[in-house]
Every structure is written in structure tokens, then in C-alpha cells.
């Protein structure tokens, strides 16, 4: 039999050999996942033994992670804005960088009674906004599988959101006080150079922004005006080098007061404008 401490040391060693970033943390999180116990418990009681089933399962998930399969897809969860979201291979893994998009929307929550989260994926953006404001939120995505994940998260977090399967605005009716979107924005030519965890396992549909990475911004800016109330606002997450192009596109289409926001790393991350 293997003790919890022995299992952790062995798992960490396998991940280190596979050159997994944060291998010590990942080995810890995976042992917590397998045992259902916080690490402080098995640190204090490291001589406690794993049962055969736990030992086999831990070996399996360590090998999976060593093969660059994302930790969050193994554990099927990711924290975002203080909430625990369910994730799988049908949606992008929520990232901390995106929290500044939600935070920017929430600055205007007193003025937003209806909001559309376009390209919603897991629903983490729209659901977080719905939980932290009084807005009536609609989640839309072209992917039926992604919407199943968003639906599960809405139920899990007791969020009263509406879901619509739609290719951008194709099946969207009515107008909103705000539209928020983290669309696919990675240039097609850049994708082969991404880390394996992203290019091999995260959904290409949610990554590929076509040739220059701006395809979906152009469409949303052009078509979105018809779905915003007077004074309505459009909020985007952007790639770190896309600020000027997105801002210019919004201004060209008649959006006013266009500005950008940086994330905690000091990178341009959000662009906002109003009609």
C-alpha cells in the first residue's frame, strides 16, 4: 500500500520529469481530487494509506496530466470570480485574465438591466454577472455542447439565465443594455505554436479568430448595434495586441466613448464602447 505522502512525491516526480509547469501544485490538486480531502489533512496525516482504487486512480490522472491533458478537464472544475464552474473539453477553461472583463461590466451594473453574453462557452462571464447584479442575462453560443455546460453551470450556481443556440446574432431577438463577449481571437497561424494543453484539447471553435484574429470582432461590432438599446454598451475581451484595431473598428461603426482596460499583468485586455 502507498501512503498519501508517498503518492504525492511519486506523482510530483512524474510531472516534473514530463516538464509540466507547476508540477508540485498539480500533483497536490490531483491528490485532493482523488481523495476528496484538502491537502492540509494529508500533510498532517501523510502516513495514511490510499486504498487500491485511489492509488490506481491517482496514477491514471497523473499520467493523463503528464500527457499535457489540462488539469481543469481532469477535475472538471475551475474557479472564476469566486465561483466554481464545471468545465470539459467542449468549452474554454475560464482564465483569471477574463475576470477584469466581468469587473468592468459590473462597474455599470446600475445601468444594465439586460445583458447578452455572446460566445458564452462555460457561461462563466454571464453567470458571474447575473449572480453579482440585477441584470437579466442571456447566454448564447453556436455550440450545443458548450450550451450544455453553461446550462449545467447555471443550475449548479442557481443562476436564472436564458440560453440560446445561435451563430452570433442569428437567433437573437430583442435589444439589450449591454453585450459582452470573449470571442475567438487567436490568429489561425498562431495556433500551432500554442502550448499543447491549449491547441490539443481546448475547443478550436472557441480559439480560432481566423486569419487576423479580428473576424468575430468585426461581425459583432457591425451586427451588435441593432441589438443594443440607445446608450447600450459593448464589452470585449481582446488579445494583448488587438486594442487599436478593435477600438478603431468600433469607432468606425459609430460607437462612442471607446476605451480600453488592462489586466493585472498590465496587458491590454478589455475594450468598451457605447452606441
Q: Residue 111: pLDDT above 80?
A: yes
pLDDT at 45 over 70: no
- pLDDT the model gives residue 164: 96
Cα dist from 155 to 148, 152, 162, 255, whole Å:
11, 5, 11, 35
pLDDT at 251: 95
Residue-wise pLDDT tens digits, 215-235: 899 999 999 999 999 999 999
The confidence score (pLDDT) of residue 205 equals: 75
> Structure pTM?
0.91
Residues 177 and 52 in one domain: no
| Residues 128 and 209 both lie in one domain | yes
Q: Are residues 120 and 171 in the same domain?
A: yes
Whether residues 37 and 112 share a domain: the answer is: no
What range defines the domain where residue 137 resides?
A: 88-274
Domains: count for the chain: 2
Mean local confidence (pLDDT), 9-19: 94
Q: Looking at the domain assignment, is residue 269 inside a domain?
A: yes
Q: Are residues 123 and 16 in the same domain?
A: no
Of 76, 129, 139, residue with least CA distance to 99? 129
Q: What is the pLDDT of residues 115-141, one digit of tens each?
A: 999 999 999 999 999 999 999 999 999
C-alpha cell at 173: 431577438
In a domain, 73, yes or no: no
The confidence score (pLDDT) of residue 18 equals 94
Within this chain, do residues 158 and 230 fall inside the same structural domain, yes or no? Answer: yes
pLDDT for 209: 64
- Identify whether residues 40 and 111 lie together within a single domain: no
In what helix (H) or strand (E) does residue 244 lie, and over which residues does it extend?
helix 243-252
- Same domain (yes/no): 15, 110: no
- The answer on 129 and 41 residing in a single domain is no
CB 274 within 8 A of CB 256: yes
Amino acid at each position: 500500500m502507498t501512503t498519501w505522502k508517498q503518492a504525492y512525491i511519486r506523482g510530483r516526480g512524474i510531472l516534473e520529469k514530463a516538464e509540466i509547469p507547476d508540477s508540485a501544485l498539480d500533483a497536490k490538486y490531483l491528490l485532493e481530487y482523488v481523495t476528496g480531502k484538502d491537502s492540509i489533512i494529508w500533510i498532517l496525516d501523510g502516513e495514511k494509506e490510499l486504498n487500491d482504487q485511489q492509488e490506481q486512480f491517482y496514477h491514471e490522472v497523473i499520467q493523463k496530466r503528464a500527457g499535457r491533458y489540462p488539469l481543469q478537464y481532469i477535475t472538471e472544475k475551475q474557479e472564476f470570480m469566486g465561483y466554481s464552474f464545471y468545465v470539459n473539453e467542449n468549452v474554454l477553461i475560464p482564465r483569471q485574465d477574463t475576470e477584469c472583463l466581468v469587473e468592468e461590466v459590473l462597474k455599470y451594473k446600475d445601468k444594465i438591466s439586460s445583458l447578452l453574453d455572446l460566445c458564452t462557452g462555460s457561461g462563466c462571464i454571464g453567470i458571474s454577472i447575473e449572480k453579482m447584479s440585477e441584470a437579466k442575462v442571456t447566454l448564447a453560443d453556436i455550440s450545443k455542447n458548450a450550451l450544455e455546460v453553461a446550462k449545467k453551470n447555471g443550475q449548479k450556481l442557481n443562476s436564472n439565465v436564458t440560453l440560446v443556440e445561435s451563430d452570433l446574432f442569428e437567433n437573437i431577438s430583442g435589444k439589450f443594455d449591454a453585450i459582452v463577449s470573449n470571442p475567438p481571437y487567436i490568429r489561425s497561424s498562431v495556433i500551432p505554436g500554442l502550448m499543447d494543453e491549449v491547441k490539443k484539447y481546448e475547443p478550436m471553435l472557441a480559439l480560432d479568430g481566423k486569419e487576423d484574429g479580428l473576424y468575430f470582432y468585426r461581425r459583432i461590432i457591425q451586427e451588435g448595434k441593432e441589438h443594443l438599446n440607445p446608450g447600450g454598451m459593448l464589452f470585449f475581451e481582446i488579445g494583448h495586441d488587438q486594442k487599436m484595431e478593435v477600438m478603431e473598428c468600433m469607432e468606425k461603426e459609430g460607437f462612442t466613448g471607446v476605451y480600453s482596460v488592462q489586466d493585472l499583468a498590465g496587458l491590454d485586455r478589455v475594450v468598451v464602447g457605447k452606441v
